[in-house]
Structure 1
């Protein structure tokens, strides 16, 4: 019989999964180290457990004590799982830009969560760094883990992430790509891999608004580089002690939008429901693709699970409000098909006239217009039922059998709203274009557009 003694024994040994569709334009093989398979759904489980074990060994925390940490959510989850097993209390301090899901998950495993403002300097007494440090001095038998400067962070990845990648690729890895935050993952993994093969390239992915890239390039801590950004889990407004820049070969910065869009693409095209930083990691690789060749074997670190971001990057409204989601509209559908004048029928025309038009142009919906006004409609579905009960209806005027007029909307109405307006009893929607001419979108048009 084989079983784990507790949840902590399931940390590590996460799979390496080849990417196929999202990387089809890259010349090399790309593998994702998918660390949401850890029990806390992120790579931070590794370093959380290691930091706690080292603190115990050094006598910095005693049984029944309190773990205090500033976290964007994932480190907190790893520490919370370890605390449950080992019998500690947890107080986590986070920022108001982190997703609500992260705070809720931490509370679900028994942690207390304190939310601080994002847009303050690290040394500000209200920053989540400062609040965490203060709490650790005020609470008896507590220890501030400080993932940023605690070198057990990078040690965890030197001991686990690096060796796993080396063994899983049989030493054939040529590039490691990883988002850069506390520095623990990229530095610890890089230190191990560089010891095995100094020629392996280590590419760090940063976000605009972080000072890490300029620091790497110049050695200067330039606070003018720092400005608010939306991306979560990477980028910094100071340089954590976990960094050893000598093992990193290059930094590249990505935008908030590109990371969010690519994370969604990874989910749709690879079936990997990853977090924000996975999309950013892949975007960073795309930006450096000109340095790659067919024989290269690239490993990207995908840190955490998409469930942490369902209210953000996987929420269409959230994406639209920030201009991250390219929303298709009525106009896009009309512009994407062959231009054709709107076909209409008049109230005094006959049903036979309508049938002839539908057959000639292979259409199912005809608006009824009188004196330039949208007054009704005729559909194949509606006519079919009437013809079955009365074949002589062909000679009747349209106005005796017409259905209700198709709804009119603005030309920039999003497709999702159009799909709500088009129902079993209403097969089309109308809108006026910029020239004041009516255009039509049918159920078929919406289906065709969404399938592209």
Structure 2
């Protein structure tokens, strides 16, 4: 890594490592793209900078303006605060108690104002309505719900970085469905280059009986898999035991998805898992 002009220019070019112990019996090659190497520790840095820069390009935000954003994701909230601070945009972050407990201090350290509306712990519509009303009162810009904010233009850099370092044809990429800019970017890059690479979107859900989440609407996704948190946590523990990688639940879900698909893959298949998060914010829930 060389000299970078500003912290946001360190987003991307994350490590790609070969997993040699966690996939016992898999005759192909398995790689992990470690997005925890991004400055706030997750792939949400890519999504946040894509979202904020799109708002700036469209003129919906300008330097010194206030963005009122709602999110149920601690990783995305952390990323958004850093991007807004770097782009000189004031941020009011509307979150539930769980996100506030996980990263509230971090958000305030970056200078964000944190709002936790009553009764909005896990209710995106309620948080979104609160954020919309608050933006109206303080003259800030509300870009829509958490889901709307993260429907930014695709970020193809992760796919380009993978293809640059994997030698030869790539058979499968497994990507977190809750990283829409990156998922869409992988699909766009595969389509642009006319590759035969298949793309799998992984949804992390609360439990094994949870319904499949809404379709992310990304053209080119071959499979959508649902992985529950218990299964993801077990995969996380296997990762740290066998590969010394302390990963978060969405990364564990990517590994669990691969394990479901491995038997159907060709013996010489090359597979990349996008690990979107580190495990440092999940020590009590996964590793205790």
For the aligned pair, the TM-score class normalised by the smaller chain equals 0.7 to 0.9
Question: Which shifted more, 183-192 or 144-153?
Answer: 144-153
Could you list the runs of 5+ residues in structure 1 that have no partner in the other structure?
Answer: 211-223, 227-234, 317-452
Q: What's 1:260 paired with?
A: 233
Q: What's 1:169 paired with?
A: 166
| Contact 2:100–2:116 under 8 Å retained in 1 | no
DSSP 3-state at the match of 1:22: coil
Residues 189 and 80 of structure 1, relative CA distance in 2, 3 Å threshold: same
| Contact 1:67–1:145 under 8 Å retained in 2 | no
CA distance in 2, matches of 1:201, 1:66: 40
CA distance in 2, matches of 1:131, 1:182: 24
Query: Of the two structures, which has the highest relative contact order with CA contacts closer than 8 Å and spacing of 6 or more?
Result: 2
Matches within 5 A, 1:38-49: 38-49=38-49
| Contact 1:194–1:200 under 8 Å retained in 2 | no
Instruction: Say whether 1:250 aligns with 2:249.
Output: no
DSSP 3-state at the match of 1:77: helix
Matches within 5 A, 1:93-112: 93-98=94-99, 100-112=101-113
Q: What's 2:134 paired with?
A: 135
CA distance in 1, matches of 2:199, 2:271: 10
- Give the C-alpha shift of residue 284 in structure 1: 0.9
| Contact 1:27–1:292 under 8 Å retained in 2 | no
TM-score by length of 1: 0.57
DSSP 3-state at the match of 2:104: helix
Q: What's 1:32 paired with?
A: 32
| Contact 1:60–1:143 under 8 Å retained in 2 | no
Residues 295 and 304 of structure 1, relative CA distance in 2, 3 Å threshold: same
Q: 1:196 aligns with which of 186, 193, 198?
A: 193
Residues 36 and 208 of structure 1, relative CA distance in 2, 3 Å threshold: closer
CA distance in 1, matches of 2:132, 2:13: 33
CA distance in 2, matches of 1:166, 1:32: 13
CA distance in 2, matches of 1:279, 1:132: 32
Q: What's 1:354 paired with?
A: none
Computing the radius of gyration from Cα coordinates, the structure with the larger value is 1
TM-score by length of 2: 0.87
Q: Provide the aligned length of Structure 1 versus Structure 2.
A: 283
Residues 183 and 46 of structure 1, relative CA distance in 2, 3 Å threshold: closer
Q: What's 1:300 paired with?
A: 273
Instruction: Say whether 1:286 aligns with 2:259.
Output: yes
CA distance in 2, matches of 1:93, 1:26: 44
| Contact 1:154–1:185 under 8 Å retained in 2 | no
Matches within 5 A, 1:338-417: none
Matches within 5 A, 1:318-337: none
CA RMSD of aligned residues (A): 2.6
- Give the C-alpha shift of residue 209 in structure 1: 5.5
Q: What's 1:397 paired with?
A: none
- Give the C-alpha shift of residue 138 in structure 1: 3.0
